[in-house]
Structure formats: C-alpha cells, structure tokens
Amino acid sequence: MSDTFSILLIDSNHKDREYHAQRLKASSLNFGVVQAVTGHAGLDICARQSFDCVVLEIDLPDMSGFQVLEFLVWNASHPQMAVVVLTGFPNEYLLDLALKNGAQAALQKRMPSADRLEETILKAIATVKQDREQQKWPMRVSA
C-alpha cells in the first residue's frame, strides 16, 4: 500500500505513547506518527499540520481529552478529522460518550492489539473521508 497516513498520538503516559507510536511505525502500512504529551500541545500541532487521524487519550494533564475532542470534531455529525480514543479508563460509559461526541472509535488500551488499532484507524479515516465526499454532492433545489 503506497498511501501514507499521518497520525497524531496525544497521550501523557510516556510508556503507552511510545509503545503505540513504535507499533504504528513498525506496521506494514505507512504511518507517519507525531506525538504530543498534552492536549494543548496536540491542538497546537493540529493548528500547524493536518492529520488523517488523531489517536487521543482521555486522561491528559492539562485538559480533558473530551475538550480536545470538542476542538478537533466541532461538528460530531460531520467530522472533518478522524479521531480514535484510546484510553486507559476501564469505564464503558466514557467510551460511549467519546463516540457520541464525534470520535469514530473508542478503545481501551488493554484491549487492542497493534493490528486492531491499525484496523480501527483505517476504518475511522475511511468513515470521515466517505462523509466528506457525500457532503460534496450538490443538494437538489426546487425551482
């Protein structure tokens, strides 16, 4: 596959962030991974660079991951950027809340294998791309 996918990984847990970044970089797919330690740093990076997908931890030191999600996906019904929440919180309610607030997928860190995370990222990117393409169709206007 010749496509390159740009990923922003926002997670304050150094060990988890490095693990997932290395797994994505070692993938058979072409993932370019940029890392951020805080929500503000991630948003600053997003203001300067576009990404195919943001992988976001909910538990951040400077702000809630839900606040970051709100900035990234300001229109939950028509997101312009794919977001996958990957959190250490075991609470299923938080995963559901992330989905309701515009994330395309939400996973617990203890659950996904590297292959599952890759698959989830690709599906999230495809979902957002398809939604954007559908929005481009002209609306029928009655005369």
Domain ranges of the chain: 4-135
pLDDT tens per residue across span 1-33: 457 899 999 999 999 999 999 999 988 788 999
Non-local (6+) Cβ contacts of 9 within 8 A are 17, 20, 21, 24, 33, 34, 35, 36, 54, 55
- Residue 1 is predicted with a pLDDT of 43
- Residue 108 is predicted with a pLDDT of 92
- Residue 136 is predicted with a pLDDT of 61
Q: What percent of the chain has pLDDT over 90?
A: 66
Sheet containing 4-10: give its strands across.
Answer: 30-36, 4-10, 53-56, 82-87, 105-108
- Residue 10 is predicted with a pLDDT of 98
pTM for this structure? 0.88
Q: What percent of the chain has pLDDT over 70?
A: 90
Neighbours of 127 (CB within 10 A): 14
E strands in 57-100: 82-87
Work out the pLDDT band at 139, boundaries 50, 70, 90: very low
The CATH architecture to which 4-135 belongs is: 3-Layer(aba) Sandwich (3.40)
- Comparing 48-52, 86-90, 100-104, 138-142, which segment has the lowest mean pLDDT? 138-142
Q: Is 39 helix (H, G, I), strand (E, B) or coil?
A: helix
